[in-house]
Structure 1
């Protein structure tokens, strides 16, 4: 079978690899029908040491169950399923608290921690299949597939940001970042009732989609100028909630600059820094809460899916390009150079 491997910075290849097979009774074998490239995949694309490659790529996918281990009880051959980016048994103490990203099962991990497996491939072995995979009530060729695929990561992550931030109809919200997660954080804030949603982004095609998703204002400026514009839009006080969907230090500094006293900064952009200032002049003095983290998207799928199935929302609009396996490397380049927002992969093409 063919799969995507990253060898080092800027070096992505699609190669023939050994077929994925069942290894444990709790595994399922899934033939991938749709996957995608994530903005977080660009972090190793920029910085991964060649000594750590090749690494299998992909943590968001939909596919058809081809086989299941003897201990799998909720899935059968032919089921169409979506996989969250975190593997979980969905039964441990943390999973019962809707924190599947901290699942205590010894086989649980993020997809990039599972050797020789990844969703940007023709097939994948899924550990802890009963807990991880969610059945979809549509056919593999449904027009809803792009939107349902966002449940694997970016929609659930944007929703997590808004939920952890405490967004409601009484909060003003600023979203930092016009990538897929940021745009779906806008959609999520709108879904939770926010009436003022400021989107900070510089790419017009993306911010236009953000306006369609529910943003009321767009601020293209960064740094002190951007902070000043947000404060002007919020009566000088700043936003009640800031959703930081980038993960770089300037985005965090911007969040601190625009948060209202007593407000909440919710970070879901994969951090590319290990320290964030929390002293008196940043968070402590203003009674500001810092929250966020890797989204337990498994906890949100059942809640978010009905609105996709009904057509009430269309988060799949974040996909602006589609490719087969042969075009995956170019898809990485296009996302890295901002020619594409998010690339959908159809292995059968």
Structure 2
């Protein structure tokens, strides 16, 4: 089959790779209806993460189950399914508490089964995958694909920041996760949502998703603008969706005393000192999003066409043009690229 392989920073190729097989009796094999390029894939593409050997790429997926292992009871061939970028049993004590990305038996998708391909193996299928009520119309596939990572991650960022009725929410980052954190904050009932963005196309989508204000400033100037918009206090809830030192300090600085930061950007070279937080009374909560926790609710919202997160995909390409998709996202000519196998 065809799959995306990163050989070195900036060197992405689509080539023949091994067909996935059932390895453990808890596995499933799915035929991908769509996959995509994640903002986190740009870290190795740009050389921020080491690429020491050819690496099959992809951890976001939606598709049809083709085969299941002997121990799989809940997931059936022919179902359309979505799963998280972490495989989890969904039964251990940590999973039952809602943190499936820290499941005691977790496996990282991309190492056990790469998703930028025609087919993939999903471990712990019964705990990882959630089926839709039926095979969806094709126009819903992008939204279900978004649920496998960026929607669930943005949703967790908003939940971790305790976005809700009566709250002012600020979102640092205007990539797919940040934009969908705006959508999540809106769905959670936030009174006012401030999107931090310098790009007109992303600002427009943020407003469609529910943003009431746009702040273009960054760093200390961005913090000052948030304070200005909130009577000098800062936002109740701030979602950090980038993962850099500047964005994290901006998020903390934009939060009012007693407020909450939900951080979901993949962290790179972020160091927070005691002095950064001791006098702020700011709560910090985040990490790899437990997408599996939210999938049943998100699937219901998408199936019933109450939300349209698939709008973050502003470029669709065939799988064989994945290299063009990486380049478009790297150059910020696309928010997020959908690939059709």
TM-score band, normalised by the shorter chain? Answer: over 0.9
SS at match of 1:14: strand
Name the TM-score, length of structure 1 as normaliser. Answer: 0.95
Q: Say whether residues 1:109 and 2:110 are aligned partners.
A: no
- Offset at residue 118 of structure 1 (A): 0.4
5+ unaligned residues in a row in structure 1: which ranges? none
Q: Residue 214 of structure 2: which of 215, 218, 222 is its match?
A: 218
Is 2:36–2:60's contact at 8 Å kept on the other side of the alignment? yes
Is 1:243–1:268's contact at 8 Å kept on the other side of the alignment? yes
Find the aligned partners of 2:31 and 2:272 in 1 and give their Cα distance.
41
Is 1:33–1:140's contact at 8 Å kept on the other side of the alignment? no
Find the aligned partners of 1:283 and 1:41 in 2 and give their Cα distance.
30
Q: Deviations over 1:180-216 (max 9, x none)?
A: 0000100111111111111001111011100110010
Q: Residue 335 of structure 1: which of 326, 329, 339 is its match?
A: 329
- Offset at residue 274 of structure 1 (A): 4.5
Identify the residue that residue 257 of structure 1 maps to in structure 2. Answer: 253
SS at match of 2:107: coil
**In the superposition, relative to structure 1, how do residues 19 and 140 fare at CA in structure 2: closer, same or farther (>3 Å)?**
farther
Find the aligned partners of 1:135 and 1:320 in 2 and give their Cα distance.
26
Question: Within 5 A, what are the aligned runs for 1:74-93?
Answer: 74-93=74-93
| Range with greater deviation from structure 2 (205-214 or 268-277) | 268-277
Is 2:89–2:95's contact at 8 Å kept on the other side of the alignment? yes
**In the superposition, relative to structure 1, how do residues 329 and 339 fare at CA in structure 2: closer, same or farther (>3 Å)?**
same
Find the aligned partners of 1:178 and 1:242 in 2 and give their Cα distance.
13
Question: Within 5 A, what are the aligned runs for 1:46-61?
Answer: 46-47=46-47, 48-51=49-52, 53-61=53-61
- Offset at residue 283 of structure 1 (A): 1.4
- Offset at residue 112 of structure 1 (A): 3.3
Identify the residue that residue 36 of structure 2 maps to in structure 1. Answer: 36
Find the aligned partners of 1:333 and 1:325 in 2 and give their Cα distance.
14
Q: Say whether residues 1:320 and 2:314 are aligned partners.
A: yes
Identify the residue that residue 124 of structure 2 maps to in structure 1. Answer: 128
- Offset at residue 169 of structure 1 (A): 1.4
- Offset at residue 137 of structure 1 (A): 2.3
Find the aligned partners of 1:18 and 1:305 in 2 and give their Cα distance.
31
Identify the residue that residue 279 of structure 2 maps to in structure 1. Answer: 285
Find the aligned partners of 1:202 and 1:80 in 2 and give their Cα distance.
37
Identify the residue that residue 133 of structure 2 maps to in structure 1. Answer: 137
Identify the residue that residue 264 of structure 2 maps to in structure 1. Answer: 268
- Offset at residue 343 of structure 1 (A): 0.6
- Offset at residue 287 of structure 1 (A): 1.2
How many residue pairs are counted as aligned between the two chains? 340
SS at match of 1:285: coil
Identify the residue that residue 5 of structure 1 maps to in structure 2. Answer: 5
**In the superposition, relative to structure 1, how do residues 338 and 298 fare at CA in structure 2: closer, same or farther (>3 Å)?**
same
- Offset at residue 220 of structure 1 (A): 0.9
Is 1:63–1:140's contact at 8 Å kept on the other side of the alignment? no
Identify the residue that residue 184 of structure 1 maps to in structure 2. Answer: 180
Is 1:13–1:329's contact at 8 Å kept on the other side of the alignment? yes
Q: Deviations over 1:261-315 (max 9, x none)?
A: 1111111001012422232xx2111211111111100010111222211211111
Identify the residue that residue 304 of structure 2 maps to in structure 1. Answer: 310
Find the aligned partners of 2:299 and 2:110 in 1 and give their Cα distance.
25
Is 2:33–2:63's contact at 8 Å kept on the other side of the alignment? yes
Q: Deviations over 1:29-60 (max 9, x none)?
A: 11111111111111111123342x21111111
